[in-house]
């Protein structure tokens, strides 16, 4: 069964290795090409993430370097990998091809310079999360529970996303910024978030947040870090399914997907039998024990296909 995965940190790992890790088959990469192929991944979203200890300019350079590796290492050396610049490009993928799109995890690299946002859009970014865990110029981060909401700059960034049919990703926002974003964003998404009712953590979504996301036509994509799945960090696929079951009980069956976070999970533990992208069909098989085939196809890819931003009107002009 084909998979669409909305979040991995593979480019960060390649960048940290100074390009020494081969995207094709490096065993250090949980989402290398061979593992994506074996796991049935049809579309992979590659996050750009600059480490938080850098200056704004250093972060921007880190993002540009990761984009360089996307073009040179992911696309340039692997003919099967096809860049997705428009949402309808997914429909043009041929048998054996894997679509690749870029996302930005936190706008710290942009600072208060919206020209940089335009540059990154032109380089292929199609989804933007305003923060990582820390508060920045644009919004309050998940680790800043009592922080403020969207700033005037953050609002401009969301409106930019709206004009360009880009996702605005809420996964790392604090409570106030989440609600501010949901009110303004035309294309909201939680690229990698689980259910707070199952594991109480600021990075997981409350029932109210999840229901509001579904009501806005936005997707919640579950991620595989055991620290956000269950207490104790040792987790099985059935533990992950508790989050999916809960979201389904809130009316989310048509708005759930996958945002694995492979290559970005910061603890050594992994979900048993879901340690890398090659094992994604293990998740599919477990889902089929509990849900209909149509529902599982929805979770795997078809919910995203239905809920992705619609194709541009041919007469529309974007800046």
Q: Residue 312 falls within a domain, yes or no?
A: no
> Residue 150 pLDDT > 90, yes or no?
yes
Q: What is the pLDDT of residue 233?
A: 79
Any idea how long the chain is? 319
CA distances (Å), 83 to each of 104, 165, 183, in order? 16, 17, 31
Q: What is the pLDDT of residue 300?
A: 99
Task: Indicate which CATH number applies to the domain containing 288.
Answer: 3.20.20.140
The rounded distance, in Å, linking the Cα atoms of 79 and 37 is 13
Q: What is the pLDDT of residue 294?
A: 99
The rounded distance, in Å, linking the Cα atoms of 261 and 169 is 14
Q: Residue 62 falls within a domain, yes or no?
A: yes
> Residue 286 pLDDT > 60, yes or no?
yes
Residue 65, both tokens: 């370097």
Q: Residue 247 falls within a domain, yes or no?
A: yes
Q: Give the three-class secondary structure for 220.
A: strand
Q: What is the pLDDT of residue 319?
A: 41
| pLDDT tens-place string over residues 239-249 | 999 999 999 99
* Range list of β-strands (E), the chain: 3-8, 41-48, 81-83, 98-105, 125-129, 167-169, 188-190, 219-222, 256-258
| pLDDT tens-place string over residues 254-277 | 999 999 999 999 888 999 999 999
Q: Residue 316 falls within a domain, yes or no?
A: no
> Residue 315 pLDDT > 70, yes or no?
no
Q: What is the pLDDT of residue 310?
A: 83
Q: What is the pLDDT of residue 314?
A: 43
Q: Residue 317 falls within a domain, yes or no?
A: no
Among 144, 187, 195, residue whose Cα is nearest residue 164: 187
Among 281, 263, 259, residue whose Cα is nearest residue 205: 259
Q: Residue 132 falls within a domain, yes or no?
A: yes
Percent of the chain topping pLDDT 70: 97
Say how many domains are in the chain: 1
Q: Residue 15 falls within a domain, yes or no?
A: yes
Residue 190, both tokens: 């939680």
> Residue 221 pLDDT > 90, yes or no?
yes
DSSP element (H, E) containing 14: helix 10-16
Give me the domain span that covers residue 219.
3-307
The rounded distance, in Å, linking the Cα atoms of 153 and 48 is 20
Q: Residue 318 falls within a domain, yes or no?
A: no
Residue 132, both tokens: 């990582």
| pLDDT tens-place string over residues 61-116 | 999 999 999 999 999 999 999 999 999 999 999 999 999 999 999 999 999 999 99
| Sequence-distant (≥ 6) Cβ neighbours of residue 263 within 8 angstroms | 8, 9, 10, 12, 13, 29, 30, 31
At residue 5 the predicted structure's pLDDT band, cuts being 50, 70 and 90, is: very high
> Residue 123 pLDDT > 90, yes or no?
yes
Question: What pTM does this model have?
Answer: 0.95
């Amino acid at each position: 069964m084909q998979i669409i995965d909305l979040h991995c940190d593979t480019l960060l790992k390649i960048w940290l290795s100074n390009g020494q890790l081969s995207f094709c088959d490096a065993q250090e990469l949980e989402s290398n090409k061979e593992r994506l192929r074996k796991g049935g991944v049809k579309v992979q979203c590659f996050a750009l993430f600059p480490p938080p200890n850098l200056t704004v300019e250093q972060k921007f350079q880190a993002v540009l370097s990761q984009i360089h590796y996307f073009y040179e290492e992911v696309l340039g050396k692997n003919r099967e990998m096809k860049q997705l610049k428009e949402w309808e490009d997914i429909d043009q993928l041929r048998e054996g091809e894997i679509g690749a799109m870029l996302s930005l995890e936190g706008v710290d690299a942009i600072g208060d310079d919206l020209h940089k946002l335009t540059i990154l859009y032109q380089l292929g970014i199609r989804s933007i999360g305003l923060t990582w865990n820390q508060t920045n110029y644009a919004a309050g981060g998940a680790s800043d529970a009592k922080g403020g909401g969207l700033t005037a700059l953050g609002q401009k960034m969301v409106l930019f996303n709206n004009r360009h049919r880009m996702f605005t990703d809420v996964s790392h926002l604090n409570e106030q910024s989440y609600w501010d974003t949901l009110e303004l964003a035309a294309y909201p998404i939680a690229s990698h978030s689980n259910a707070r009712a199952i594991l109480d953590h600021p990075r997981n979504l409350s029932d109210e947040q999840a229901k509001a996301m579904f009501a806005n036509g936005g997707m919640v994509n579950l991620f595989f870090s055991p620290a956000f799945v269950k207490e104790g960090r040792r987790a099985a696929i059935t533990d992950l399914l508790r989050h999916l079951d809960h979201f389904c009980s809130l009316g989310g069956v048509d708005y759930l997907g996958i945002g694995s976070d492979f290559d970005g999970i910061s603890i050594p533990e992994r979900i048993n039998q879901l340690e890398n992208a090659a094992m994604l069909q293990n998740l599919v098989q477990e889902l089929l024990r509990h849900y209909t085939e149509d529902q599982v196809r929805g979770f795997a890819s078809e919910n995203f296909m239905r809920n992705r931003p619609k194709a541009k009107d041919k007469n529309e002009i974007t800046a």
